[in-house]
């Protein structure tokens, strides 16, 4: 049972946690402590900015490539649908084109996913760690190939399978 005064008190106490602005000094400009090989120097802000810039640019490019390929594919599928009267050669070349567009789209989609994962890993600080072995991928390799999620030896092992 609540008395009127208790009610009033409850009403009067809205959760006004004083406006502590979340300027909680998280230095977002400093590069996270990302993994590097033992003989490599830590990531500098500039290096990280470069890699991130590359990844962002790749993401934009891949998105539009994917978009384009999916559009082409859509058109090809539609044309195939009303393909009455196509002779055999037309059908063959359409199939070829469609397979081609499909592999372009798949390729772009896969690279886009890799690029987005790399960007996410920069954010969460796991960028540069091999996804199989957990060892540092190496800054040099990442600067040359920013999407890399595997160290070179794991990558080569994967490819041999
Ligand atoms: Zn590895």
pLDDT value, residue 27: 47
The reported pTM is 0.70
In our burial notation (b when 16+ CB lie closer than 10 A, e otherwise), range 2-19 reads eeeeeeeeeeeeeeeeee
Q: Torsion angle, CA of 153/155/156/157, rounded to 10 degrees?
A: 90
Dist. CA 117–CA 137, nearest whole Å = 15
pLDDT value, residue 32: 54
pLDDT value, residue 106: 95
Spacing of C-alpha 143 from chain mean position = 16
Structure tokens at 55: 């990844």
pLDDT value, residue 95: 84
Dist. CA 22–CA 26, nearest whole Å = 10
Q: Which residues crowd ion ligand 1, with CB under 5 Å? A: 130, 132-133, 151, 154
pLDDT value, residue 91: 73
pLDDT value, residue 86: 61
What's the 141 CA to ligand 1 centre distance in angstroms?
Answer: 12
* Average pLDDT, consecutive stretches of 10 residues, N- to C-terminus, the chain (161 residues): 51 50 47 85 94 97 95 85 63 84 94 96 94 95 94 94 82
What's the 33 CA to ligand 1 centre distance in angstroms?
Answer: 19
């Amino acid at each position: 049972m609540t008395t009127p005064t208790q009610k009033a008190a409850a009403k009067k106490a809205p959760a006004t946690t004083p406006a502590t602005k979340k300027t909680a000094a998280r230095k977002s400009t400093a590069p996270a402590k990302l993994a590097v090989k033992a003989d490599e120097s830590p990531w500098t802000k500039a290096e990280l900015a470069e890699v991130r810039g590359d990844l962002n640019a790749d993401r934009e490019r891949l998105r539009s490539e994917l978009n384009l390929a999916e559009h082409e594919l859509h058109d090809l599928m539609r044309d195939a649908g009303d393909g009455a009267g196509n002779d055999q050669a037309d059908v063959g070349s359409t199939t070829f084109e469609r397979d081609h567009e499909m592999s372009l789209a798949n390729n772009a989609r896969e690279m886009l996913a890799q690029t987005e994962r790399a960007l996410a890993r920069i954010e969460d600080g796991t960028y540069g760690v091999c996804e199989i072995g957990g060892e540092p991928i190496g800054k040099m390799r990442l600067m040359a190939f920013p999407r890399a999620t595997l160290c070179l030896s794991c990558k080569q092992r994967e490819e041999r399978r």
